[in-house]
Structure 1
Amino acid sequence: VMVASSFKTNAEIFSSPLSLPTHFSTANLEKVWTETNFVRYLANSVGITAASVALILMFSTLAGYAIARYRFRLSSLVLMFFLSGMTVPLKLAIIPLFIQLDTLGLVDSYFGLVLVYVAMGIPSAVFIMTGFLRTLPRELEESARMDGASELRIMWSIMLPLARPALVIVAIQNAVPIWNDFFFPLVLITSDNLKTLPQGLTVFVGEFTTDWGVLFTGLTLAALPITVLYIVLSKQFISGITQGAVK
């Protein structure tokens, strides 16, 4: 419906919302490109999502590997510390969070927004990575140590390739909500050149009228990159889910 509506006029959308367009028009697409800073919004969303997911993968892999593969007295306590972050939604602490970021000068900046997303994503990512890495046989790393491999070499060359399905799950699980998020950019971003795609598309939502055809076109274009990402990584995603279910 959304894709079909992006080729309709507002009159067609209201008269026959579920039907295919009588004639395909690119007027809505042209309006999105000419009347908004769409390319800038798209670049901002891509950059923020990529940076956030990369940092989440890096920190959660290191933490999950340490908790899963090394035996130390406080390992369970450290894992519980990360899991406690899943119990309280970060949106409930938006006022103190905003004050803290404002004090640090991170309001209306890419880094401040990325920092929030990383804090949101790490708890569940550590949980997933720890659970998956614990299922890998210890004989692999023990034989690698006997061959003289360093700890970094074992993690990078042996464990991480085997943990690829878990990495894909973490990436998709975090990329989709970050890409679609509207709340935190609305609160933390004020400059037009820093806005993300969901925030930038609100220009078509007026107080009294809404240009639905153009809005649906923008939403279709916004959904396209994350849909392509899922299609590309779907094989690994399904593999990770089925492996986790079997193990």
Structure 2
Amino acid sequence: MSQARHSTARSLAAHAVLILYTVIALFPVFVVVINSFKTRRAIFADPLAVPGPESFDLVGYRTVLAQGDFVLYFQNSLIVTVASLFFVLLFGAMAAFALSEYRFRGNMLMGLYLALGIMIPIRLGTVAILQMMVASGLVNTLTALVLVYTAQGLPLAVFILSEFMRGVSDDLKNAGRIDGLSEYTIFFRLVLPLVRPAMATVAVFTMIPIWNDLWFPLILAPSEATKTVTLGSQVFIGQFVTNWNAVLAALSLAILPVLVLYLIFSRQLIRGITAGAVK
């Protein structure tokens, strides 16, 4: 009984911390959104005030929809983010399953090598990556961004998923092998459904840096046809004058997909983050 109470208390504490973190993280988003509906003077006069009859203005959204091809930028970001998440989760889960399930010489070194990407930023290799993309003819293509973001997200995916997959019952997997299931069937039908919370956690922590990234779209895909939302919104930022209404409106529109995906994965995300608190 005492152990159950302690587990419940730890679970409640973990949920409380996560909720508090969410509130703190969403407050800047709230400030951006409310200021996107205000006049320029109202933004600087009282940035924390909710838009009123005198300060309400949609000039930022009209400017965003009139200048540039925001729908195309939005579509490019969505394609790059969804494709990168798919490959990160697929290849990361397969690599994590191999490292956690099969014992071979160099297993630990291989896991350490894959985890080095967490400690070494991929941006340090920007020059080499650009040279590779130029040689491959992939500059100014969405494929270049998908390849880079997949490589960027794999280390974290392997690190998190391998720990969860080690907790999957060996008896369950061995029973599948006795029944004649192939390793691919065991992986896709038995193991993956049990690590969905971890998959959702990896998806959320991988999705946000990809969607908000400015560096690689600026280096690898700066053409008008391949601009992402973050890069496209830079058109409203000038050296001497910045159209803050348009910038805030563009950022507010760009936030929507991230919030939708976050809400979709939120339940599994909470389960994945608090998994260790209820043991």
TM-score, normalisation: structure 2: 0.85
Determine if contact 2:76/2:227 at 8 Å carries over to the other structure.
yes
After superposing on structure 2, the runs of 4+ consecutive aligned residues of structure 1 that deviate more than 4 Å are: none
Partner of 2:247: 215
Q: Give 1:20's match in structure 2, choosing from 46, 50, 54.
A: 50
Per-residue CA deviations over 1:139-162 (Å, capped at 9, x if unaligned) read 101111222222111111111100
The residue type equivalent to 1:20 in the other structure is V
Residue 246 (structure 1) shift: 4.2
Determine if contact 1:132/1:244 at 8 Å carries over to the other structure.
no
User: Once the two structures are aligned, what percentage of the paired residues are identical?
Assistant: 41
Partner of 2:214: 182
Distance 1:204 1:193 in 2: 18
The residue type equivalent to 2:38 in the other structure is K
Residues 133-148 of structure 1 correspond to what in structure 2 (within 5 A)? Answer: 133-148=165-180
Distance 1:20 1:151 in 2: 56
Q: Report which stretch shifted further, 216-225 or 101-110.
A: 101-110
Determine if contact 2:36/2:60 at 8 Å carries over to the other structure.
yes
Q: Give 1:195's match in structure 2, choosing from 227, 232, 237.
A: 227
Distance 2:241 2:175 in 1: 67
Per-residue CA deviations over 1:95-118 (Å, capped at 9, x if unaligned) read 122122211212211111111111
Q: Give 2:65's match in structure 1, choosing from 4, 18, 33.
A: 33
Determine if contact 1:6/1:216 at 8 Å carries over to the other structure.
yes
Tell me the SS of whatever aligns to 1:36.
Answer: coil
Residue 16 (structure 1) shift: 2.1
Residue 230 (structure 1) shift: 0.6
Distance 1:127 1:49 in 2: 20
Distance 1:154 1:190 in 2: 43
Residue 191 (structure 1) shift: 0.9
Residues 1-247 of structure 1 correspond to what in structure 2 (within 5 A)? Answer: 1-23=31-53, 24-246=56-278
Distance 2:219 2:194 in 1: 39
Distance 2:91 2:36 in 1: 40
Flag structure 2 segments of 5+ consecutive residues without an equivalent.
1-30
CA RMSD of the aligned region, Å? 1.3
Determine if contact 2:36/2:248 at 8 Å carries over to the other structure.
yes
Residue 36 (structure 1) shift: 2.2
Distance 1:185 1:3 in 2: 24
Residue 20 (structure 1) shift: 1.8
TM-score, normalisation: structure 1: 0.96
Determine if contact 1:166/1:240 at 8 Å carries over to the other structure.
yes
Residue 195 (structure 1) shift: 0.3
The residue type equivalent to 2:122 in the other structure is L
Flag structure 1 segments of 5+ consecutive residues without an equivalent.
none
Q: Number of residue pairs matched?
A: 247
Distance 1:18 1:85 in 2: 39
Tell me the SS of whatever aligns to 2:198.
Answer: helix
Residue 85 (structure 1) shift: 2.1
Residue 87 (structure 1) shift: 2.4
